[in-house]
Amino acid sequence: MFRHKSIAIILSMMLVFTMIPSISFGDEISTIENQQNNLVSEEDNETPNDKTLPSKEDEIEKENAKDSVENKTETENNANYDADVTTTNSVVSSEQELRDAIESISDNDSTTITLGANISLNNIVEIKNGKKITLDLAGYTVTNNIQTERAIHVIGSELIVNGTVEGSGMLIPDSNNNSYGFIKIMGVSNVTLNGGTYSGDTYNGSFVKIVRNGTVDGSGSSVVFNNVDMTSNNRFFDTNTLLTEADVMTLNVEGGSYNTEGQAFAADTMYLTKLNFEGVQVTAGGGPCIEVCGSDATFTNCEFEVTNSSNPSHFSASAIGVSWDGIATIDSGNYTSTGYGLYVYNSGGTIVVKDGTISGGKAAIKADKNVQPNGVKSSITVEGGNTVGKWQTNDPTEAPLLVKGGTHTENIEKYLDKGLKVEIVDGKYVVVENNTVFLNGTSGNDDNNGANKDNAVKSLDKALELVSENGTIYICGTVTIDSEYTLENANIKRAEGFDGILLSVVDGGKLTILDSTIDGNNESISYGSYLVFITNGGSSVIEDGTKIINNKTSAVYVNNNATLTMNGGEIKNNSSANGWGGGGILNCGTTTVNGGVISENIASTLGGGIYCERGTVTLNGGEIRENTAEQGAGIAVVGGKDVVSAILDGTTISGNKATYYGGGVYLQSVAEGGVKFEMKKGSVIGNEAKMTGAGIFGYVYIGPVDIKISGGTIKENVSTDENIGHAIGIYGYNGSSAYPRLELSGSPEIVGDVFYQNDYEDGYVIHVTDTFTPINSIEINRSNNIEGLAAVEYAVGISPNLEHFNSGNIYDGLEIEGQSLIWAKAKPVYFYDEDGTEYLDYRHGVIIGETINPNNVPAPEKIGYTLDGWHLEGETELWDFDNDTIENRTKLYAVWSLNDPNVSVEADKTTTHEDTDAILTVKVTHKLDDLDYTYQWIKDGNEIEGATTNTLNVSDTGNYTVKVTAKDTNSKTATVESAAVRITVEGHVYVPVVTKPTCTDKGYTTYTCEICKASYVDDYKDPVGHSYSDKWSSDANGHWHECTVCGDKTGIAAHTFKWVIDKNATTTVEGSKHEECTVCGYEKAAVAIPVIDEPKDSNAKTGDDFNIIAMLAIMGMAAAVSVFMVYSRRRSN
């Protein structure tokens, strides 16, 4: 048996050893190295960055298995590992770990600390020195066991408490009945609570407090409650009196619910620091939900409720209380109390309600007078929303309540703001704008509501109090003003059917109208129903923004002993009743216009803009424009028994239209007093009249009319029908025996003629009373044709000047006689263009024997031409204005010459080369487009024959010009010779390049111009012939003899090869041989000679096929032996 086993073992070992040689030594080394690399990779993957911190469940499991040696060892190993890790996130499970985690952070650094278990604080935890701590409650709680203190003190640092995971929060246990809360803030800090539940009772404390005392100052700190739920018997937030700047948000509460048995929030600040509540639910048992003490608080979409049933009359039972100059703004939400919805205490403050619902069992709104020596008034303003309950104030003046909108259960009419009224809808009082108020100054009553004519108020003050900002006051009875009164931002209209004066200013009263509209409403009325009537010492001032419009009789009447001053605004679209004058203003007193616009008014007779019947009108500024009337569309001044005067000293009178006389100004005397009109500045421009005097018309009927003009502008006025007297018309009812006196001085601009109408028999005279330098010569026309009458008289000491005036009648002229310009017989002078078109404005008369005044000669301009002068018809000689005199009717025609064209020559090059042309091109410009041009080129002062186009090719050196002649359609010509252009032509500069002869080709020299590259060939040399080498040249295809000069081939033949052995082969080393030409010696590449054959070696090699065969043989032998042993054993059994 033993033998059999031994044989089997031996065979097996043989089998194993047979396999071993198949693994090489190099393979073993490679395998070991790979195993080492894999190990290193696994270690690299276990870096601290890849390890995860133990979960909460892991920590619990470790605590439950402290008696397990294996788990204890694992915990210790993990602790040792974590001690080597630098992280900004610590997990703490006890007060000490929390304290250590905070202490481990460097000053001013930040970290996140996560609770791993509920912890209790028995000692104060401080966060200071600028540290920024995020405390993640992670579903656990912090319990304050500290008596008479808050558990966490934040000192000049930042704390964020995240309690968004369910179960997170802070607690005060029932056993700690002297706790003050959770967080105390000392030093400028930021504290944010995100989510979580905070509950427990405090000993007259608050969960979070900002402290300021003699030792610490938390002023400037900010606290945020974000979706936090709090329950307590006292406050959730409080401060000492802080000195925080007004732009700092001290408390921001968004979302969450807050339920307390007492007061919920308090904030005491010296300045209006910000508080904000949005989407917050607060329930307070005692109240208030918040006292805004010195702060500026905003409440949006909150639900505040005070449930105080024991003492609801106490001031603290208010949903929101305001004190010590605080401000509360209610944007939306519901604020209710068993006591007071909103309450301003007796230390003063402000509440503004924009929207929301305010309700109180005692009062929805209450304000007490500020009893402190300083500070603001107590006030509450309700702009919208709803109030349910009473409105109360103990002093309407010092603690006013004001309502601007909303819906209310109580009648709040006495608190209404200006322009509002109350409508009862479904039993509630709804505040609406009062857009219509009726005012009757005769029979109205200010106890009325002004809703209609029957309930009209009596005074303007009451009407303005009732009407809305954009509403309208309808006057249905004259309002009398007998004291100083300013009407501002009012919109007044004539009530339908009211035919009377709207505003009557009497007995020294003064009415100032500013930014207001007084509208006649286009009602059909009778004469005398003015919009503003000023009389008996009254006065009125019209300022900017005022409109006095749409009345069917004069808008403003200024009676004698009354004054009107217009500084701005407009009087527009009014019309006087039939037969009366003064569409805009009817003046019998004193009217001064310093500004504003009087426009689009209509008078059926006199003065569309202003009718001055008595008194004085002074026009210092503003505009009188686009008015209409029979006479004096702009202004009419009519004198009676007393002098009536008007002064134009800056106003613009323009665009007015008169049916008859005086488009701009109409002046007429009807009694002995007469009229005085003085023009110092201002303008009378662009007015129209069908008759004469389109600008100014003066008419003497009875009494004098004195017109003095020393400045200003009169121009562009048009007498549309009579076509005379465009600037000024002077008319005497009794001819020249009595007519307006026109005095001129200074430097006025009068364009258009002055017409002496009805000046028979002695003629009218213009008087120059002082230094006179008119802007232009003034044209005069007259009705009669008597020669020798004075036309203009100059005061003593002033020299008459014919350049000051000219006659508008071509048969009249003016000449100097003494101190006068007198009428003299003249002959007409006409000026025509060469095509026969007359210059009508310059047709005039020239006294016989006088020269033509150059100032009366036209100076026309024509594009492309120059005016050379004038000549008589049929003559060519120019008229000599200095010496030629007028003897007969004279027609002068303009003589024009065609302006020279602008001519220049451009050369593509000024220096050219032999056999290369320079190109000259003429450039011609002229202001006329339809001219024909001819050209003649000139070289060195001589015309070039045939060179008559606008370009010239130049091949010779010289100075070149071109003479250009322009011709218009009337055959006028102008010839100009251009400036010279110098062209220089240079000769060739040749550079030789030699080409040597070859075996077969001639040699030569090429001469090339270095400037233009022109070339020619010369100096040829004969070929040199071939010179073949005696040596063979060859390639793979054959051999030949080659020319040593040009490489030409001769004697080309194929190779004749033989084998040449370079090295004999041996039994171990190959040999080599090559083919070689027997003629030229060309060699092909060598080829190998194989080694000499020997017998092969039969020994087995490790790893070769023999090993495999041997292994298979042994395996077969082993199998056979095994079968034999089994068989033998069975036989023995």
Q: 765, 759 in Cβ contact below 8 A? A: no
Question: How many whole angstroms separate alpha carbon 268 and alpha carbon 240?
Answer: 6
> Exposed, middle or buried by CB within 10 Å (0-12, 13-18, 19+), for 496?
exposed
Q: Which band of pLDDT confidence, cut at 50, 70 and 90, is reported for residue 58?
A: very low
Overall size of the chain counted in residues: 1133
Per the CATH hierarchy, to which homologous superfamily does domain 829-896 belong? Answer: Listeria-Bacteroides repeat domain (2.60.40.4270)
Q: Is pLDDT above 90 for 383?
A: yes
Instruction: Output 1120 or 925, whichever has higher pLDDT.
Output: 925
Q: Can you give the pLDDT at residue 1116?
A: 64
Q: Can you give the pLDDT at residue 375?
A: 83
Question: How many whole angstroms separate alpha carbon 342 and alpha carbon 800?
Answer: 90
Question: How many whole angstroms separate alpha carbon 471 and alpha carbon 450?
Answer: 12
- The number of beta carbons lying within 10 Å of the beta carbon of residue 1033 is 17
Q: Can you give the pLDDT at residue 1118?
A: 61
Q: Is pLDDT above 80 for 1120?
A: no
Question: How many whole angstroms separate alpha carbon 275 and alpha carbon 250?
Answer: 6
Same fold, 829-896 and 902-983: yes
Element housing 806 (H / E): strand 805-807
Q: Which band of pLDDT confidence, cut at 50, 70 and 90, is reported for residue 57?
A: very low
Instruction: Output 55 or 522, whichever has higher pLDDT.
Output: 522
Q: Is pLDDT above 90 for 1128?
A: no
Q: 601, 580 in Cβ contact below 8 A? A: no
Task: Specify the pTM.
Answer: 0.61
Which among 304, 289, 295 is positioned nearest to 249, based on CA atoms?
A: 295
Please give the backbone phi and psi of residue 991, each rounded to the nearest 5 degrees, phi first.
Answer: -120, 120
Q: Is pLDDT above 90 for 43?
A: no
Please give the backbone phi and psi of residue 621, each rounded to the nearest 5 degrees, phi first.
Answer: -170, -175
Q: Can you give the pLDDT at residue 1122?
A: 55
The conformation of residue 48, written as its DSSP 8-state character, comes to G
Give me 863's structure tokens: 């594009």
> Exposed, middle or buried by CB within 10 Å (0-12, 13-18, 19+), for 178?
middle
Question: How many whole angstroms separate alpha carbon 324 and alpha carbon 301?
Answer: 25
Q: Is pLDDT above 90 for 148?
A: yes
Q: Is pLDDT above 80 for 48?
A: no
Q: Can you give the pLDDT at residue 1096?
A: 54
Overall average pLDDT of the 859-871 stretch: 96
Overall average pLDDT of the 793-798 stretch: 97
Q: Can you give the pLDDT at residue 55?
A: 35
Which residues are CB-contacts of 1072 (< 8 A; sequence separation ≥ 6)?
1061, 1062, 1063, 1086, 1087, 1088, 1089
Which residues are CB-contacts of 962 (< 8 A; sequence separation ≥ 6)?
903, 905, 920, 922, 935, 936, 937, 938, 952, 977, 978
Overall average pLDDT of the 632-643 stretch: 95
Q: Can you give the pLDDT at residue 1011?
A: 82
Angle at 502 between CA 499 and CA 507, to 5 degrees: 125
Q: Can you give the pLDDT at residue 33?
A: 30
Q: Can you give the pLDDT at residue 77?
A: 33
Question: How many whole angstroms separate alpha carbon 800 and alpha carbon 13?
Answer: 159
Q: Is pLDDT above 80 for 797?
A: yes
Q: How far is CA 1051 from CA 1028, 1038, 1042, 1046, in A?
A: 10, 10, 9, 16
What mean pLDDT, rounded, does the chain reach? 89
Q: Which band of pLDDT confidence, cut at 50, 70 and 90, is reported for residue 914?
A: confident
Q: Which band of pLDDT confidence, cut at 50, 70 and 90, is reported for residue 1119?
A: low
What DSSP assignment string belongs to 742-770?
Answer: EEEEE--EE-SEEEEET-TTT---EEEEE
Q: 1079, 1053 in Cβ contact below 8 A? A: yes
Give helix 56-64 / helix 69-82 axis angle, nearest 10°. Answer: 140
Q: Is pLDDT above 60 for 709?
A: yes
- Ranges of each domain in the chain: 92-240, 248-264+271-395, 829-896, 902-983, 990-1021, 1103-1133
CATH 2.60.40.10 for the 902-983 domain, yes or no: yes
* Percentage of the chain exceeding pLDDT 90: 79
Q: Is pLDDT above 70 for 17?
A: no
Q: Can you give the pLDDT at residue 1013?
A: 85
Amino acid at 181: G
The 10 Å CB-count burial string (b at 16+, else e) for 328-340 is bbbbbbbbbbbbb
Q: 777, 806 in Cβ contact below 8 A? A: yes
Q: Is pLDDT above 70 for 3?
A: no
Is the torsion defined by CA of 82, 86, 91, 92 positive or negative? positive
Amino acid at 766: I
Taking only the tens place, the pLDDT of each residue in 1042-1065 is 998 888 999 899 999 999 999 999
Which among 187, 222, 206 is positioned nearest to 149, based on CA atoms?
A: 206
Strand-pairing partners, residue 670, are: 702
Highest mean pLDDT among 323-327, 574-578, 1121-1125: 323-327
Taking only the tens place, the pLDDT of each residue in 763-789 is 999 999 999 999 999 999 999 989 999
Taking only the tens place, the pLDDT of each residue in 1069-1118 is 999 999 999 999 999 999 999 998 765 554 444 444 445 555 566 666 66
Instruction: Give the least confident one: 188-192, 418-422, 1009-1013, 1077-1081.
Output: 1009-1013
Q: Can you give the pLDDT at residue 45?
A: 29
Q: Can you give the pLDDT at residue 1010?
A: 86
Overall average pLDDT of the 525-549 stretch: 96
Question: How many whole angstroms separate alpha carbon 189 and alpha carbon 212?
Answer: 12
Q: Can you give the pLDDT at residue 1121?
A: 52
Torsion of CA 10, 12, 13, 18, to 10 degrees: 130
**Coil, strand or helix at 180:** coil
**Coil, strand or helix at 33:** helix
Overall average pLDDT of the 516-529 stretch: 93
Q: Can you give the pLDDT at residue 1109?
A: 53
**Coil, strand or helix at 69:** helix
